[in-house]
Amino acid sequence: MAACVSAWFWTSLQQQAITMDQLTSPQAVFLDPRSFAVMGSGADFRGEAFKAHFNPTNLTPPLIQIFHPDFLSILGTSPSLRTIASIPGIPFAHEAPIWHPERDEVFFSSHCGADLGWEPCDRNNHISKIEMKDVDAALQASSSMTSPVNVTVTKLDIPDSRQMTWGGTGPYNSSLLLINSGRDKLPSSLALVNPAPPYNVTILLDNYYGRQFNSLNDGKIHPKSHAIFFTDVTYGFLKHFRPTPQLPNQIYRFDTDTGDLRVVADGLLKPNGLAFSGDGSIAYVADTGAAQGFLGRNQTGPATIYAFDVDSVSQTFLNRRVFAYIDAGVPDGIQVDTKGNVYSGCGDGVHVWNRNGVLLGKFFIGSVACNMVFAGAGKLVILAQTAVYVARIASEGIKLAFP
């Protein structure tokens, strides 16, 4: 299934620890960037980045698109990408993916909105989970490495003290750390949730010195200080479930030990996904400014991941620079593996870059993948609204559970 492979590309492949000859996946397609660098005056150029995706081989997704030989070390010799849960027409798997290592379960939140043909945003969204032992058993029983399976999705009965969960990480002290946008006059919040019944909720933070946040979106725990960093953006207002914004779109740091709350970065149009390098010295932030809720889309706005240096003392974000600009939709959730490669959910699947911002490849599903999480070594769980995928690969995510 190899396509568009130049002599340079073949030579480069042979220099890798894993070679093309060792790759057994029928889903993998090789794309030499030089083969489409010039398309010509009569070419059919893409005009819309949110729905018109880059798939020059016209193969049916899910695919694994390889743009650089270094992607092979991430994939391993037998990568696969397949559906593990699906509920057609129901965006049950939207955001806030958390893998709980002790329970080996992946938790996530649903979407809302009439534009998705589902429940409006005038009620709380749902938290569900899948058990990875069920996934492992289903994949092992399957006679194909590409055929979909459909494990049980369990919706949890979590108290409504958490409202509109859009982000999640951890575990934090063995609890789920949920980043909640709030709804109507119910405030945005950070909350700890017991991963087992009765799923009791403890609110950690719901204001900035007496002022409500706009609608908290995503966050991570810093790997050294264990402070919680989170983004605040106006999407709750732009999706008609939060009041008029009262604060700038900003990134915050919250120290649960001292209660210290501070702004660590501003100036982004719509800060969204957030992740740290393994040593915590670099922060990656997605700016989804091209997506404007009820105001529509503006492709001249940011669809960009920025990298920042994290100050070793104050932990403010310094020296902003472009890490990657997305060619499909906007970047959303971000994760980092143990080799420093950066993963982000985008308009056509999950994109992967090396630490220098070189696009290595994509887990191409042909639709939006808002977020993803490593569920142990070699298992990347991808949320795609009405379906959940797993990429079986050779990489492992950095630790997200603290302390």
Each residue of 350-363: pLDDT tens digit?
999 999 999 999 99
What is the model's pLDDT at position 116? 64
Per DSSP bridges, beta strands 175-180 and 165-172 are antiparallel
**DSSP string for residues in 141-185:** H-S-SSS------EE----TTS-SEEEEEEEETTEEEEEE--BTT
Grade residue 11 by pLDDT with cuts at 50, 70 and 90: very low
Does the pLDDT at position 273 exceed 80? yes
What is the model's pLDDT at position 189? 98
In one letter, which amino acid is 386? T
pLDDT tens-digit readout, 191-211: 999 999 999 999 999 999 999
Measured CA to CA, the distance from residue 180 to residue 310 in angstroms comes to 24
What is the model's pLDDT at position 324? 98
Grade residue 48 by pLDDT with cuts at 50, 70 and 90: confident
Measured CA to CA, the distance from residue 36 to residue 359 in angstroms comes to 15
Does the pLDDT at position 391 exceed 70? yes
Q: Residue 228 corresponds to which tokens in the numbers above?
A: 């919680």
CB 234 within 8 A of CB 215: yes
What is the model's pLDDT at position 114? 65
15 compared with 24, residue with greater pLDDT:
24
Task: Count how many residues are written for the chain.
Answer: 403
What is the model's pLDDT at position 22? 81
What is the model's pLDDT at position 4? 40
- Give the CA distances from residue 234 to residues 135, 198, 266, 376, in Å, rounded to whole numbers and listed in that order: 36, 32, 13, 33
Does the pLDDT at position 379 exceed 70? yes
Q: Phi and psi of 64, rounded to 5°? A: -115, 105
pLDDT tens-digit readout, 77-101: 999 999 999 999 999 999 999 999 9
What is the model's pLDDT at position 141? 96
Position of tokens 């420093």? 340
Per DSSP bridges, beta strands 228-232 and 216-221 are antiparallel
- How large is the average pLDDT for residues 246-266? 98
Does the pLDDT at position 16 exceed 90? no
Q: Residue 316 corresponds to which tokens in the numbers above?
A: 């403010």
Least Cα distance to 32 among 57, 67, 65, 58 occurs for 67
Grade residue 119 by pLDDT with cuts at 50, 70 and 90: confident
Least Cα distance to 269 among 295, 51, 86, 157 occurs for 295
CB 337 within 8 A of CB 343: yes
pTM for the structure as a whole: 0.95
Taken in order of first residue, the domains within the chain and their CATH numbers are 54-390 (2.120.10.30)
Does the pLDDT at position 296 exceed 50? yes
Measured CA to CA, the distance from residue 319 to residue 46 in angstroms comes to 33
Grade residue 293 by pLDDT with cuts at 50, 70 and 90: confident
What is the model's pLDDT at position 329? 96
pLDDT tens-digit readout, 157-178: 999 999 999 999 999 999 999 9
- How large is the average pLDDT for residues 107-126? 83
Does the pLDDT at position 8 exceed 80? no
Grade residue 115 by pLDDT with cuts at 50, 70 and 90: low
Work out the number of other CB atoms within 10 angstroms of the CB of residue 224.
14
What is the model's pLDDT at position 12? 46
- How large is the average pLDDT for residues 297-311? 96
Measured CA to CA, the distance from residue 61 to residue 384 in angstroms comes to 13
Grade residue 118 by pLDDT with cuts at 50, 70 and 90: low
| pLDDT over 70 percentage in the chain | 94
Q: What is the C-alpha end-to-end distance of the chain, expressed in Å?
A: 45
